[in-house]
Structure 1
Amino acid sequence: MKPKFITISEAIVEKIKAGELQPGDQIPSENELIRDHQVSNTTARKSLLDLESKGWVKRIKGRGTYVLNRTPDHHLVRTLGSIYATRRGFHESLLAEGFLPKNLVLEKTILPDGISSEIGGKHFIIDGPVLKIHQLRYADEEIIKDELKYVSLRLCPNINRLPTEISYFKTYETTYHLKIEEVKQTLSVEIVQPDARENNFELKKATPMFILDSAVVCTQSKVVELERSYYRGDKYKFAIIANPDYQDHGHKATQA
C-alpha cells in the first residue's frame, strides 16, 4: 500500500498532466492538504516535498507552491479570460513557473493627451494624462514579449513612480481601489520579418508573433489601461477559459 503522501502527490501530478493545473498555477497549501485529506502536517509537507523533488512544482518563500513549466521547449502557456492570471502579472507568473524574469524599459513617459484603441470592433479611450510604458520582457535572458501599455493617470495618479515589473492589474484594485468591470482581449497572429519595425526581439529569421490587444475597464465604463503586446509565437501557447472565474464575482471578461 502506498504511503498517504505519495497518493496525494500523485493526485496533484495527474491534475497537472490533465491540464487542470497549468504552469504557474498555485497548488494547495500545506494547510489545505491537511484539511482536504485529513492528514497530519508531516504528511502534507512530505507530499509537497515529493512534488518539488520530482520537478513538478517550486516553492516560493512567503507565497506558496507553484506548478513548474515542463512543456516541450519550455513553451509558456497564457490563458485568456483568466482574471487570476491577469491579476498575478507577468513578472510573478514567470517566477512561479521557474524562469528568471527581467525587464528592459525602452520608454516611460507621460502623454498629456489621451489615447484610443479599437479592440474587437469597439473603441476604447483613455483621457489624458496617460502613462506610456514600452518594455521588453525577458525569461532566462531571452526576449519573449514586447509590451506597450497605456495607463490612466487620472484614475491612477503617481502610478508612474512605481516599478514597471509590478502587476498593474493588482495595483488598480488594491492601491487605487478600482472595481474592474470588464477585460476585453483580442488575439491575432502576424509574421514579423527580421528587418521589420516591430522586431525588438533580435530575431534573425521570420517569426510568427501573437499580438494581444486588451482594454481594462472599471466602473462607469472608464478605461484604466490599454495594451498592445507582441509574444513570440515559437515560445508561447494560448488557452481560453470559456467560463472565467471572474464571472463568479459579478464581473465579466471577454476574449477572442
Structure 2
Amino acid sequence: MTRQRLDRESFVPMYYQLQQALIQDMDAGMHRPGDRLPSESELCDSYGVSRTVVRQALRELEISGRIVRRKGQGSFVALPKTSELLVQSLTGLHEDVTSRGGTMRSDVRRLERVPATPEVAAELGIAPGDPVIVLDRLRFVNEVPWVTVVTYLPYALCPRLLEEDLTQQSLYALLEDGYGVEISWGRRRVEAVPAPAAVARALEIRRGSPILLLSSTSYAPDGRPVEYFVASHRGDLSRFEVRLERRKGAPYNPLLTLQSADT
C-alpha cells in the first residue's frame, strides 16, 4: 500500500520523519511486536525516499530498541521490554510483570537442599557447608524465556519450601505470607556480560549475546541475610530503571548501590 510521502520542504531530516512515521504505525498496531517490517526497497517505494534515508531510519529505530535487525531476514518489531524499578520499590519480577498485566511462569529446574559453598555462605552470613535451599528457575514472561535465576536461602528459614510448587507463584509472596519471612531491603550488583552456552540455550539466544547479570542479597528488617540470587536477563528484552539522587557535598563514589530484588 502506498503511503503519504514525507514533507521534503520541512527542516526535519527525512530519515527522522520516516522513523517517526514507522513508530506511529507500530504504536497504532499496524506493525505488532514480532512482525517483520517491509523491506528497504518496499519502504523506499512506499515513502518516496532513498535507500540511504531508509537505512538511517532503521538504524535509529534499532538503537532505540524499537526494532531488531537480523542479517538475511530483515527488520522486526522488537518485543516490549519489561522494566524493573530499582531503588524505588522492593518488588520481585513476578510482581513487576503481573502489575503490568503480563503473565509469568517458571520452569523449576532444581529445588533441593545442598551444603553452602564459601561464596553462598559469605552472602548469607552462615558457615560453609551449612544447609541451604537452592532454587534454579527459567522464568517466562508472556511465554518468552526471559531470565534464569538461581536462588539460595538458609534451609532453617523455610525447610517446607522444598515441598512447594513454584511454577506460578511469587517466591517473595510465599516467604512473607507462608513463612513469615519479611524482606526489608537488598543490595544488587549489575553487569553486562556475554551469555555462556548453557544460559544462551535456556534463553534461546546466541552464545555470547549480551545479557544482564544480576547478583543480589536480600535482608530482613534486623539486617539478617535471608536470600541470595544470581540472575541472567536477556539483554534485548530487559530494562532497569534507576532513581539517582544528588547529595550536595557527598564524595564521589564509583560504585552504585541498587536496593531492590528479583524473585
| TM-score range normalised by the length of the shorter chain | 0.5 to 0.7
- Give unpaired runs (5+ residues) of structure 1: 1-53, 56-70, 244-253
For 2:234, the equivalent position in structure 1 comes to: 232
> Residue 225 of structure 1: CA displacement?
0.7
For 2:99, the equivalent position in structure 1 comes to: 96
How far apart, in 1, do the equivalents of 2:171 and 2:145 lie?
20
Superposed CA deviations along residues 193-235 of structure 1, whole A, max 9, x for unmatched, are 5xx2332212235311001100112255422111000000000
1:75 to 70, 81, 85: 81
Superposed CA deviations along residues 34-93 of structure 1, whole A, max 9, x for unmatched, are xxxxxxxxxxxxxxxxxxxx99xxxxxxxxxxxxxxx94301111122434x1xx33343
How far apart, in 1, do the equivalents of 2:232 and 2:162 lie?
22
For 1:198, the equivalent position in structure 2 comes to: 199
> 1:107–1:179: structure 2 CA closer, same or farther, 3 Å change rule?
closer
For 1:141, the equivalent position in structure 2 comes to: 143
- The letter of the residue matching 1:83 is S
> 1:116–1:166: structure 2 CA closer, same or farther, 3 Å change rule?
farther
For 1:248, the equivalent position in structure 2 comes to: none
Structure of higher CA gyration radius: 2
What's the TM-score, normalizing by structure 2? 0.55
- The letter of the residue matching 2:148 is D
How far apart, in 2, do the equivalents of 1:144 and 1:75 lie?
10
- The letter of the residue matching 1:140 is N
8 Å Cα contact 1:117/1:226 also seen in 2: no
1:222 to 224, 228, 234: 224
8 Å Cα contact 2:109/2:138 also seen in 1: yes
> 1:110–1:82: structure 2 CA closer, same or farther, 3 Å change rule?
farther
For 2:176, the equivalent position in structure 1 comes to: 173
RMSD: 3.0
For 2:108, the equivalent position in structure 1 comes to: 105
| Residues 1:125 and 2:132 are matched in the alignment | no
- The letter of the residue matching 2:81 is H
Residue aligned with 1:185, SS: strand
How far apart, in 2, do the equivalents of 1:82 and 1:172 lie?
21
8 Å Cα contact 1:108/1:134 also seen in 2: yes
Count of matched residue pairs: 170
Residue aligned with 1:178, SS: coil
How far apart, in 2, do the equivalents of 1:235 and 1:147 lie?
16
For 1:250, the equivalent position in structure 2 comes to: none
Residue aligned with 1:234, SS: coil
What's the TM-score, normalizing by structure 1? 0.57
> 1:167–1:115: structure 2 CA closer, same or farther, 3 Å change rule?
farther
> 1:241–1:168: structure 2 CA closer, same or farther, 3 Å change rule?
farther
Superposed CA deviations along residues 136-184 of structure 1, whole A, max 9, x for unmatched, are 1112322110111112221223122222243222333333333434311
Structure with the higher strand share, 1 or 2: 1
> 1:124–1:242: structure 2 CA closer, same or farther, 3 Å change rule?
farther
How far apart, in 2, do the equivalents of 1:106 and 1:179 lie?
26
Residue aligned with 1:160, SS: helix
8 Å Cα contact 1:115/1:125 also seen in 2: no
How far apart, in 2, do the equivalents of 1:174 and 1:115 lie?
29
Residue aligned with 2:159, SS: coil
- The letter of the residue matching 2:226 is V
How far apart, in 2, do the equivalents of 1:173 and 1:240 lie?
25
- Give unpaired runs (5+ residues) of structure 2: 1-27, 30-64, 67-77, 246-256
